Amino acid sequence: MTKNLNASLKIDGKYYTISALENSKIKMNITDSGNGYIYRKTELYNSDGKNSPEITEIYTLDHTFKCENTAYFYSLRGDDDTKNSFLPIEKTIEKGEEFVLAPIGGRPSNTTAFPYFDLTLDGKPILFAVGWAGQWKAIIKRTTDGVNVKIGMENADFYMLAGEKLNMPSCCVMTGECGEDAPALRRRFRKMLATDMNPLPDGVEHLPISVAPYDRYFYGKCPDWPTVDGQLRTLKATQKCKYFDTFWIDAAWFRLGFPDGVGNYTFAEGFPDGLRPVADAVHEAGMRFMVWFEPERIHSGSEIFENHKDFLLSVTGEKDTFLYNLGDETAFSWLKNTLINFIRDNGIDNYRQDFNMEPLPYWLQNDQEGRRGITEIRYVNGLYKLWDSLLDEFPNLLIDNCASGGRRLDFELTRRSVPLWRSDINCAPVKPDWHCDVWNQNQTLTLSEYLPYHACGAWELNTFELRSAATSGIACDFDLLNENYDFERACKMLCELKNLSKYWKGDFYPLTKPTTDENVFAAFQLAEEDAGFALIFRRADCEEADFVLKLEAIDENADYKLLITDNDYNTTEKTVSGSVLKSGITVILADARTSAVCEYFKTKN
């Protein structure tokens, strides 16, 4: 494990490392922890009795890793609600080359960058994770004898007040062990997130299998749905399928509705007694209750705008959308107490926080002169503190991290939450010009290399589409209020998902490369000790029917029971040697847009 990683900052135009700050009034306090990795937290402290000089270019990590020959970079794109969301970015880094990673708009996995990446230097991998729910940046530069990696904020140019303390971006660094390549290192990192930093509450073994028909029934499509009676009617229909374990109300409960009512904590007319009647019925049905919030974005028609304008940040030219200032102590306390009381009073088990705006211009335009970056720092620190406060108050709370989909997946929020709606590509069903089933396959292939927990949605009882969306959980935008709905088929599909959910804690292996091409197969594998499964998709334009499945993490000297379940949920059982599974077996998918699950168990010798 790499030790003694450097950090740096610039004071009055001069660079200082940690050791060079020993006698300075500006302290860069570094806390490194972790077993098999370094989790670094950084605090700046002005111990002087007066304002500090100008501080710029603060890097939690500023370290040169040795490399004499080949340097290779791998990461993902951010989420932009298109077919390109989370596709890989990979390149060889030539000597003298320098490039910058940064998201857009202040959300850390938005469009242009993803806060997890790795380098392979002379065959040895190193993985980096950025902990900053704001506008982070990483500078990667190939030198004559190594690769320098800097991780910090993009906008930092400020003086510190006397005695001021600031928590800066964190990072996690994990280096490959002997013989470990980059995919193996990602698997170890993924397992660390699922064990050392598991955000699931005690007793929750997998992500929610949720009833979530908001996009289907809201916006006037089903007038009585956003009412207590409509929700109870939906819940009653839900109980025809015993595999649902979570009842999810999205942006339908507050006065004026979405988006004009964002910033209201009073209820819409359809909920005269709040959400407690729904929560009680959900709990009686043995399910968890999940509710949508967007506390950071405030609309001009809301009560917060009318009553607490001093809590809000504005930008020039924008009259309707404001940013709630989590960096202001009074505003923070009001929101924390409001959310705690709301969660308790309405029996909420899963707290879903969405964030549908770009905060960066609000931060920058509200910085004081000479203090560029302070608004962002205070805000991001406030966000982390808010979620920690909720988890302290409700130890069994599950936090869903949403930001127009998966645009805020930094390391710190990932430690505290799960993204149950990893991209807004699922706000609409599969259509001729919208192939979100294929894009979901790609997102599973890429995100699962780094993150153990993520989920998305499915609209129809179509095996190819639902398996494309399924992870260890799913959000079901099903037509449950249709009196002719095929609940028997829904049970069959969700039964399979639940039975396979236990494997998602295991090691993830992409068996094909992610691509938007539809003339190919897509496949991946989850392996948990002596068992696991592979999921194979034959895409729409794939002319081949035969897929050669080569499983990873197989004991060649053992025998395995293999269960192959086709697109119609017919299962074939056979016993196969480990050597055959490793060298490859042929799985036939006779028709395009079909899939197969291959579950395997090691048998006793």
Q: Alpha-carbon torsion 289, 295, 300, 303, what sign?
A: positive
Residues 389-437 have pLDDT tens digits of 999 999 999 999 999 999 999 999 999 999 999 999 999 999 999 999 9
Domain-embedded: residue 288: yes
Do 68 and 213 lie in one domain? The reply is no
Identify whether 486 is part of a domain.
no
Q: Tell me, yes or no, whether 158 and 213 share the same domain.
A: no
* pLDDT for the residue numbered 399: 98
Q: What is the pLDDT of residue 22?
A: 73
User: Residue written as tokens 């209201």?
Assistant: 264
* Pair 380, 284 in one domain: yes
| 311 pLDDT above the threshold of 80 | yes
Contact 453, 419 (CB under 8 A): yes
Could you tell me if 248 and 111 lie in one domain?
no
Domain annotation covers residue 190: no
We report the CATH number of the domain holding residue 103 as 2.70.98.60
Q: Give per-residue pLDDT as tens, 238-293.
A: 999 999 999 999 999 999 999 999 999 999 999 999 999 999 999 999 999 999 99
Q: How far apart are CA 34 and CA 478, in angstroms?
A: 43
Peptide bond into 259 cis (omega under 30): yes
Using CA atoms, how far apart are residues 573 and 548, in angstroms rounded to an integer? 18
Residues whose CB is less than 8 angstroms from the CB of residue 466 and which lie 6 or more positions away in sequence, other chains included: 458, 460, 474, 493, 497
Burial class (CB in 10 A: 0-12, 13-18, 19+), 562: buried
- Let me know if residue 193 belongs to a domain: no
Residue 1 has pLDDT above 60, yes or no: no
Residue 565 sits in the same domain as residue 455: no
Contacts of 453 (CB under 8 A, 6+ apart): 193, 194, 199, 200, 207, 418, 419, 471, 472, 504
Claim to verify: residue 449 and residue 329 sit in the same structural domain: yes
Q: Which amino acid is at 382?
A: G
User: Across residues 84-92, what is the average pLDDT?
Assistant: 98
The 10s digit of each residue's pLDDT in 158-194 is 999 999 999 999 999 999 998 899 999 999 999 999 9
CATH of residue 553: 2.60.40.1180
Whether 295 is covered by a domain: the verdict is yes
Is the alpha carbon torsion for 392, 394, 397, 403 positive or negative? negative
Residues 142 and 224 in one domain: no
453 and 566 in a common domain = no
Which whole-number Å values give the CA distances from 350 to 133, 247, 293, 319, 454, in the listed order?
21, 9, 11, 32, 15
Q: How many CB atoms lie within 10 A of CB 564?
A: 20
Does residue 330 share a domain with residue 404? yes
DSSP state of 592: S
Tell me: do 148 and 236 sit in the same domain: no
- Domain identity same for 234 and 152: no
- Structural domain contains residue 584: yes
Please give the residue range of the domain that contains residue 323: 209-462+473-480
| Residue 379 belongs to a domain | yes
Q: Is residue 405 located within the same domain as residue 537?
A: no
List CB contacts of 31: < 8 A, sequence separation 6 or more: 40, 41, 42, 43
Percentage of the residues of the chain whose pLDDT score is greater than 70: 99
Residue 22 placed within a domain = yes
**How many folded domains does the chain comprise?**
3
504-538 pLDDT per residue, tens: 999 999 999 999 999 999 999 999 989 999 999 99
Amino acid at 512: T
